[in-house]
Structure 1
Amino acid sequence: RLEQENAERLLHDRKLSLILDLDQTVVHATWDPTVGDWMKDENNTNHPATKDIRKFTLPGSSLMYYIKLRPGLSEFLRQVSGLYELHIYTMGTRHYAEAVAREIDPEDKLFRGRILSRDESGSVTQKKIQRLFPCDTSMVVVLDDRSDVWSFSPNLIKIKPYEFFVGIGDINSPFAPKQILAEQEKIQEAMAKEQQQQRPLAQKQNELAPGQDRPLLVDDDKELYTMSTILTEVHERFYKGLDVYDKHKKDDENGAKSSVGKPDVKDLIPEMKRKILDGVHIVFSGLIPQQQVLSDSMYWRLAESFGAVCLPDLTGNVTHVIAAKAGTDKVNRARRANKIFIVTVDWLLDSTARWDKQDEKRYILPSLNPSASVGSDAGEVEVENPESTPFDDGAFDPDEHSLGEDVDWDDMDREVDDALNESGTDFGDTDSEALDR
């Protein structure tokens, strides 16, 4: 009954509900005391970037938290609060969530206590919309930097992780060692103390530019501006659809019921995403583990969710080869085709993160001969293969299909995890034992 009353109130105000994650979505946090040193030292190259860092301690702890608000957050919240009722859902503790909420909404006008933390969520690894909206999720949008914790919900809009404190990651990550809550808090406290002793930010600064005056902290993130545009469009589409539904919901003169359905965010968001890469036909090279089913790959699933068609090999209608390196069989054959974009995976990640197909020329795979890139006049014959016929049928490239015996796959998995976290991709495929070269 309460949920129905809430829905009616939102409809009257022409609003939707927006569930916001905190860490790496709208803020970035660290315990590293190096930040405090940089804040005090006006001569430090990182000092200018620390001017609006917030800091606080939590009840019962002397540990200092340093919080950086994502650029544009105040404007973002002001804009979306006119269209959405805002909720916080975090894997952090209740005290942490309330402390961050006070920093981003000091007068409690935006959230009004609508906070769900790990202390109440019932899970330390998964989030469920039903914890807040058990009956109807048709008007609920989620904004988070992780899709796996939401089980890839159709209500989710995924944002690139915000990592202002380089190399720190998410201090409230749900994928810490699987322990009961009390033990996890002890682990978190121990991790914080260890981080304070190791001072990872100071180490990163030294690695970046030893002896040089280059800042580690760079505040050039613009993702919230993109998210504001997307959320505005979702809201507009929902209420346009609702207006049409209201107009046709009554039986017509003959008693036949209207075929116009009530709008649902779970339909709207996937529909909007599928238009981004509509008409794009992709082949991957060197990015999918050899033993993995292609359609289970994180890249394959990501591309298809945004409307692309993914294929196992080159055919006459392939438009893009997304490759990890030059020189593979697929890349070489695509170069001969002369009309296929050969790009890095960043093209896919940026296009899907920004909900806008990016200019391929900015993502051309390194080490390619410029004369052989897309649109060149290299004198090579254009492909005339039928749509379903692979190029060079039976061709085999040992470099692309064999496993190197001297490769440390554990190290490679860790490097892949780090790269995907920085690029904003997380599909939980880190159990793969070996990557397709």
Structure 2
Amino acid sequence: MSNNDGDITTAFLPKNLLYPITVLKIHVKEEQTVQKHTTILTYKYYDYEPIPISEIDDEHPDESERQVKKVENVGTYESGFDGTIRKIYTKVGDEITDNSKPIFDIIESCSHPIQYGGLCAVCGKSIEEEEMNKRTPISMAHGSTDLKVSSKEAEKIERSSTDRLLNEKKLSLVVDLDQTVIHVTVDPTVDEWMSDPNNPNYNAVKDVKSFILEEPPFIPFGYNGPPIPPTKRWYYVKLRPGLAEFLSKMNERYEMHIYTMATRQYAEEIAKIIDPDRIYFGDRILSRDESGSLTQKSLKRLFPVDTSMVVVIDDRGDVWNWSPNLIKVVPYDFFLGIGDINSSFLPRQQSLLGPSKRRKSVNKLEETIINSEEKKTLHEQSLKSNSEEAIAEEDEDEDEDEDEKADVEDNKHSSITEENNLIEPTINETSSSPVERLIELNNGEDNNTLLAVQETERTNTLEQQEHDRPLAKLQQNLEKIIEQEEVDIVTDKKLSNNGKKSDSEGKLEKETHNLLYDDDRELEYLGQALVRIHNEYYFEIEQNEKEHKKSNPDVKDIMIEMKSIVFQNCVFLLSSVLPLGTKIQNADIVIWAKSFGARFVENYTPEVTHVICKNPGTFKVRLAKSVDANVKVVNPDWVFACMSLWDRISEGPYTLEVEHLLSKSQVQEFMNSIKPSNSGVIDWGEIDDEMKEFMGSDYEDDEDDDDEEDNIEGGNANGSLKHDREDTDNEEEANKKQKTVTKEDDADSESDSFDEFERDLLDHLADLE
């Protein structure tokens, strides 16, 4: 073991010796030149060994009862370095109790600060693996793991890089590829649309780039047949709108690096498309072949010593462990439903990661995909459970959801149900990722087996996409949705029951039939944020120079301060947003918004400033708005817009109208009956008992129709049933009851209502169990 200080290396004894030891002889002198493995000293130590059988009187000794005796042993300690002994710290007769005491200083002939492929790049000598891991533990090259440097050398390199960036007034920008600056698919449907000017998607895909890769084939488990030839696969790449302008603008202020979970071969092809002249990235490309991890990204891989000038842009926060250097961007989802083709081995991202599509029909189609994904997630959770009862209960819940959706839709969009079977094959049906399972078994350490499984799973996913052609199926779904909506609008234009014409007559607007539509502006907003970060950093540099401060600012401190004011003093309540079973503290939208200063509560409290929802007809929304008329009820798109712009914009365009509020007397009686905890959070466990005191019994029949109308008019007929999982079933009972509360109910009527409500609630809970 050694510590490097300038040109002098201090040597210590190994940790695994049987201490204490006593020095018997020192074999070298100061100023003596030694080579590696030269004996430095001889020492004695004591150990305990069983007494030999020959010395035991018993003819049949019991091994477990054999005594031990103390024995003296002798050992030697050798130099691990070539060089000249500068100073010796020990002498004959010294007793050494541990390895904290230095043994000698040596001026090495070469400290092997840089090695490549097991050889020192300075002196050319071979370096043993154990020594190499100690001396040169840091891999700093983008395209190779063979080149490694010492910590001291890494500091020199980064210091030089920092000085260069400061002179150029730049920062470092780490750029992810898939769904950050591009979106890629292997669905051959895209090629057909690109070749057909009459196809409704032609204009959207005519600028799509493509390339072909020769990749290892997918080999089924247990296959023993002849070698399978490599697969040639076409990739179709859509550049995020404004990418060329974004890269040009950022190049003036940032030195850019590519960091992707994709293969090296794939990353280089993408780089040829987005940076054909190698102006922006050059050779600064780090792929999963060199990153050292299958599931995580780390700035230490590129900047092992200093990350104070580094900004990261990525569509995933989890792979970075939500690093403070990260700017999480809205995922680019041009090819609807495809996702990230290089993340099949990563945990599946939550469905709610960006604003909804502007066109109603595409938004509705996206809802069917989200619901399909949620079903798969629920199915995977049930498979992981060892309880057959839990699995059976899951199936019952899904069946009930289907029945409820059928009632709410009232057969209005029955054609969509048929298409769910077409969408589901695009979702991976495995219960969990093989890579995830291997990582669990291997404690997360990377090895060749993990890499092979990752590549196999990725290949399998891509082959499934090529075969299933999900975009073609989604286009068919869209056609049916638009066709049904046009029929519904025409029907609404007919004479109403009172003989008057519908107000919607003459307002029929036919939607275009293209599935793919590009209205993304994320890079425009992202560029503005990055310019602000750069300007603020160098403003602080100037201030420090004026004040004669030697320290430089840290970019992550600047980012934290800038983001924290966006949602300052905002308290968010989510409703009809998160899927069933999602823990609020683990939801991406929550972690993301918290980095912008927001606070979240799980249930309504008087502190709530915003209710974030897709369906304004849920109980949480109506309660919040009834209690506090100033509460903002907004679509999640408002949250995404603020986070994209790094600014709190007006809620006006995103505000949702809330109908069927509780009456003033009901609100007053309800709030008086609630006993908030010390934290101010309502104890929802007591709500059921309190609600029984003022809810009527004849509301259920009338409210069924109202709830159906509310869901449809809210712009998302399936929203509440599909997404409002966090609103409890007791709250749904409250929705059915609360409208018919009257002050004139006599005691007998109130008692009857109480009994009926209690029976309904108990029956409903029994069904759930």
TM-score (norm 1): 0.80
Q: Which amino acid aligns with 2:434?
A: P
Work out the CA distance in 2 between the residues paired with 1:286 and 1:217: 26
Task: Find out whether 1:347 has 2:502 as its counterpart.
Answer: no
**1:331 matched to which residue of 2?**
621
* Cα pair distance change 1:325/1:97, threshold 3 Å: same
- SS of the aligned residue for 1:65 comes to strand
For 1:21-420, list aligned pairs within 5 A: 21-60=176-215, 61-173=231-343, 174-175=345-346, 177-178=434-435, 180-210=450-480, 214-250=513-549, 262-285=552-575, 287=577, 295-323=585-613, 325-326=615-616, 328-336=618-626, 337-365=628-656, 368-369=658-659, 396=687
- Give the drift of 1:202: 0.3
Report if the CA contact (8 A) 1:329-1:395 is conserved: no
**1:14 matched to which residue of 2?**
169
Work out the CA distance in 1 between the residues paired with 2:643 and 2:167: 33
Bigger strand share: 2
- Give the drift of 1:334: 1.7
- SS of the aligned residue for 2:474 comes to helix
Greater mean alpha carbon deviation, residues 216-225 or residues 206-215:
206-215
* Cα pair distance change 1:107/1:300, threshold 3 Å: closer
- SS of the aligned residue for 2:434 comes to coil
- Higher RCO by CA contacts (8 Å cutoff, separation 6 or greater): 1
Q: Deviations over 1:116-156 (max 9, x none)?
A: 00000011111001101000000000000000000000000
Q: Which amino acid aligns with 2:204?
A: A
* Cα pair distance change 1:205/1:329, threshold 3 Å: closer
Identity of aligned residues (%): 44
- Give the drift of 1:293: 6.8
* Cα pair distance change 1:365/1:55, threshold 3 Å: same
- Give the drift of 1:42: 1.5
- SS of the aligned residue for 1:62 comes to strand
* Cα pair distance change 1:196/1:330, threshold 3 Å: closer
- Give the drift of 1:204: 0.8
- Give the drift of 1:115: 0.1
Tell me how many residue pairs correspond in the alignment. Answer: 386
- SS of the aligned residue for 1:142 comes to strand
- SS of the aligned residue for 1:307 comes to coil
- Give the drift of 1:193: 2.0
- Aligned-residue CA RMSD in angstroms? 3.2
- Give the drift of 1:303: 3.1
Report if the CA contact (8 A) 2:328-2:592 is conserved: no
TM-score (norm 2): 0.47
Report if the CA contact (8 A) 2:616-2:633 is conserved: no
Q: Which consecutive unaligned segments of at least 5 residues does structure 2 have?
A: 1-155, 216-230, 347-432, 439-449, 484-511, 692-724, 729-769
Larger Rg belongs to:
2
- SS of the aligned residue for 1:100 comes to helix
- SS of the aligned residue for 1:186 comes to helix
Q: Which amino acid aligns with 2:536?
A: R
- SS of the aligned residue for 1:282 comes to strand
- SS of the aligned residue for 1:2 comes to helix
Q: Which consecutive unaligned segments of at least 5 residues does structure 1 have?
A: 251-257, 374-379, 401-433
Report if the CA contact (8 A) 1:165-1:217 is conserved: yes
Greater mean alpha carbon deviation, residues 120-129 or residues 55-64:
55-64
- SS of the aligned residue for 1:209 comes to helix
- Give the drift of 1:282: 2.4
- SS of the aligned residue for 2:687 comes to coil
* Cα pair distance change 1:262/1:33, threshold 3 Å: same
Report if the CA contact (8 A) 1:303-1:310 is conserved: no
Work out the CA distance in 1 between the residues paired with 2:681 and 2:726: 23
Work out the CA distance in 1 between the residues paired with 2:548 and 2:555: 19
Work out the CA distance in 2 between the residues paired with 1:397 and 1:197: 52
Work out the CA distance in 2 between the residues paired with 1:299 and 1:105: 32
Q: Deviations over 1:31-78 (max 9, x none)?
A: 111111111112111111122111111245411011111110000000
Report if the CA contact (8 A) 1:329-1:396 is conserved: no
Greater mean alpha carbon deviation, residues 274-283 or residues 142-151:
274-283
